[in-house]
Amino acid sequence: MVKKNSYLLSVLNHRYSWFVVFLLWVSHAIYFFIFNGLGVLGPLLKQELSLNNAQFGLLFSFMFMGSMMSQIPAGIWCDRTGVKKVMGLGFLIIGISTLFFSFSQSSLSIYILFFFLGIGIGFSQVSAAKSIIDWFPFKGRATAMGIKQTGVNLGGILSSLLLPVFIGIYPWRFLIGSISLIALAFAFLFFFSYRDFLDGSHPSNKVEHFRLKDSFASFKSKDFMMVTLAGILLLVVQFSYSTYIVLYLNQTLSYSIKMSGFILALSYGVGAIGRVGWSFWSDYFFKNRESVLIFIGGLGALAVALLSFTLPSTPRWIIYFISILFGLTGMGWNAVWLTLIGEISSKRGTGIGIGFSFFVANLGMVFGPTLFGWFVDLFNSFKIPWLFLTLCMAMVSVFILSIIHKIPSHGRG
């Protein structure tokens, strides 16, 4: 009878785990629609608020600072009380801050609201990653993480394609206000439909006693630090690209906003394939996360290097090729990296380990877009900034190479 009940619990947990993936997928689609939508609306925001490139990037830096400051508390809260409360609160903050942004008229209030939007996003990111580590074993975990992460790509695709069309029909403030109501509705949906993993036999739940100093010990690990440093550079590249590619294509290559949005959407679409593909490869073929990240770093460096040499006369198919290659790498790395971080830190508390890594890695989001915009203003060109991103991607491979011979391929987490 005990064995039968155990088997039934296992089956039910397996089925529910994929419903969890669906919920997390939707959550990522919603919050990233909002984030990327603000980037797509960049030309209108810059004009209305009289911002230069660096100031425009600073708006997003405020968002990333809010995200960064919330991730350590979110990780502690996840380990102590579970994912449900953290994710639910996160989406309440996302919805409310976005709703107020749609009515805001002053630059100061917009900076503050971007900061609070970042807090909500940080809660969502940490709790979602923690949930996947809880609900899935090593084999299949990265694949589930990859499927979850494609919600980000879906949000990017939808905002890149739909907003340029609807801008000519509805005021942008109405569009942002509408999506904020969807975020608020999701907060309640998640809270009433999600349940935390309760099976104490799961490896990630075998934490005898939560101690904050254990988390610091994990953070000081060289392997943990190298993967986290790689995360900083990957986020510098991804968010600099997503923030400025529409401006670059529009201002430098003379593409329309609609065509520029389509190219960005192409990157997100291919990135969705990359997130699942790289994850599946690391689960069932390499059975190793590090080799996949090294490969991603090299191909990503090539993509951004090619972008730095584009001109208005560059054939459009080359731009499409670069967009696809960057999508596979610069937007396809997240699931493998997140899974590796969770597995390295799981013995010391999955949530707090992910929170610490997110905290440090988000330096790339905080300073990346602003630094990239500063380079553009300084050199009055995008060429040097793109080459800077090329170096960042190359260094990702270097950091991961320094630890690959030390970490076993199986059994982590």
Domain of 286, CATH number, reads 1.20.1250.20
Q: Which residue has the tokens 């380079």?
A: 375
198 inside domain:
no
3-state secondary structure of 393: helix
Query: Which structural domain, as residue segments, surrounds residue 29?
Result: 15-193+213-401
59 inside domain:
yes
C-alpha to C-alpha distance for 91 and 153, rounded to whole angstroms? 18
Average pLDDT of the chain to the nearest whole number: 82
Query: Inter-axis angle of helices 83-101 and 2-40, to 10 degrees?
Result: 20
Task: Give the pLDDT confidence of 125-135 residue by residue, as tens digits.
Answer: 889 988 888 88
106: burial class by Cβ within 10 Å (0-12, 13-18, 19+)? exposed
205 inside domain:
no
Which pLDDT does position 5 carry in this prediction?
Answer: 46
C-alpha to C-alpha distance for 185 and 91, rounded to whole angstroms? 9
Kindly state the tokens that stand for 345: 């830190």
Q: Are 237 and 245 in contact (CB under 8 A)?
A: no
- Confidence band for 349, pLDDT divided at 50, 70 and 90: low
How many domains does the chain divide into? 1
Which pLDDT does position 205 carry in this prediction?
Answer: 43
349 inside domain:
yes
Q: Are 202 and 131 in contact (CB under 8 A)?
A: no
- Confidence band for 218, pLDDT divided at 50, 70 and 90: low
| Single-letter amino acid code for the residue at 197 | F
End-to-end CA gap in the chain: 30
318 inside domain:
yes
Q: Are 50 and 321 in contact (CB under 8 A)?
A: no
Kindly state the tokens that stand for 15: 């089925």
| DSSP-H helix ranges across 194-256 | 212-219, 222-251
C-alpha to C-alpha distance for 12 and 246, rounded to whole angstroms? 45
